[in-house]
Amino acid sequence: MHFKPQGALSCCLIFAFFYSLFLSKGSWANTDFEFNVKPNRCLVNQLGDSCQFTAKFKWRLSQPMAVCLWQEKRQLKCWAKKMSAEYQIQLTLSQSTDFYLINEQEQVLAKQSIQLQAHQPAKYRRRLHSQWSLF
C-alpha cells in the first residue's frame, strides 16, 4: 500500500466540505430548533374511541422565521417572523395523528406525533393453540 499525497489532500478537502455543511447556519441545514407537543399519548378504552384533551405545542428556532403548525393536511396556526411560541388547542382524535412545523417555503422543519393507545386489549384475540387436545 502506497500513500498518495493528492489522495490524502482530496480526502481532507472532502471531509472539510462536509464538516462545514454540518456547522453551517443555512436554513436548509439548520438543525438548531425545538418542537414539542404535550401530551404525546392519549389513552382510550378501546381502539376506535375518541380522545378529547388540550394539547400544548412549543417551538423554538435559532432565527426569526414565518412558520405554520399543521395537523396532517389542516393548518392550525401561523406565526410571522418569530423565534419561539407556545400554542394550546383543544383536540379530539380518533387515531394517531402527525403534526408538522412548516416554513413559508413549505419545507417541513419538524414533525411530532400524538399516539392513541388502547387501555384495554381488543375483546377478540386469536387463539395461539386449539381448544381441544387428545391428552
* % of residues, the chain, pLDDT over 70: 65
- Domains identified in the chain and CATH numbers: 32-118 (2.60.40.2470)
pLDDT in tens, 79-135: 999 999 999 999 999 999 999 999 999 999 999 999 998 876 655 556 666 667 666
Q: How far apart are CA 78 and CA 71, in angstroms?
A: 12
State the pLDDT confidence band at 5, using cuts at 50, 70 and 90: very low
Query: What's the mean per-residue pLDDT of the chain?
Result: 77
Mean pLDDT of 30-58: 88
Whether the predicted pLDDT of 69 surpasses 90: yes
The set of cell numbers assigned to 40 is: 404525546
The full DSSP string for the chain is ----HHHHHHHHHHHHHHHHHHH---TTT----EEEEE--EEEESSBTB-EEEEEEEEEEEEEEEEEEEEETTEEEEEEEEEEEEEEEEEEEESS-EEEEEEETT--EEEEEEEEEEESS--S----SS-S----
pTM of the model: 0.65
